[in-house]
Amino acid sequence: MLDAANVLSAERGPANSVLGEPPSDNSAARERLVRARAQIDEIAARPPQEPQMDEIRRAIEKMFLPLLRAGGGNAAAVRCAG
C-alpha cells in the first residue's frame, strides 16, 4: 500500500509538467508521465497483500514525531503501541 502511495505521489510531478506545457506527443515530461503511469499500472495489477503493520507504524511515527519535536510536544506519547 505504501509503495502504491509513493508511486501515485511521484506521478504528480510529470502530470503537472505536462499540464503546464504546450500540447506535444514527444516531450520529455510526457515520457516521464507515461513511465510513471506504467509503474502505477504494474502496482495496481499486483495481488492485494496483508498490511505490514510495522511498516505503517514507522511511517506514521516519521510523519508526526518531527512535528512534535519542533513544537515542543511530547514525542514519546505519539509512539505507536506495538
Q: Based on the fold, state whether residues 44 and 80 are members of the same structural domain.
A: no
Residue 28 dihedral angles phi and psi, to the nearest 5°: -65, -40
Per the structure, the count of domains in the chain is 2
Q: Based on the fold, state whether residues 1 and 40 are members of the same structural domain.
A: yes
Q: Based on the fold, state whether residues 29 and 54 are members of the same structural domain.
A: no
Q: Could you read off the pLDDT of 42-75 as tens digits, one per residue?
A: 888 888 877 788 888 888 888 888 777 777 665 5
Q: Based on the fold, state whether residues 2 and 37 are members of the same structural domain.
A: yes
**Residue 38: predicted pLDDT:** 92
CA atoms within 13 A of residue 30's CA, in its CB half-sphere: 7
CB 64 within 8 A of CB 80: no
Question: Which residue segment(s) compose the domain that 63 sits in?
Answer: 50-82
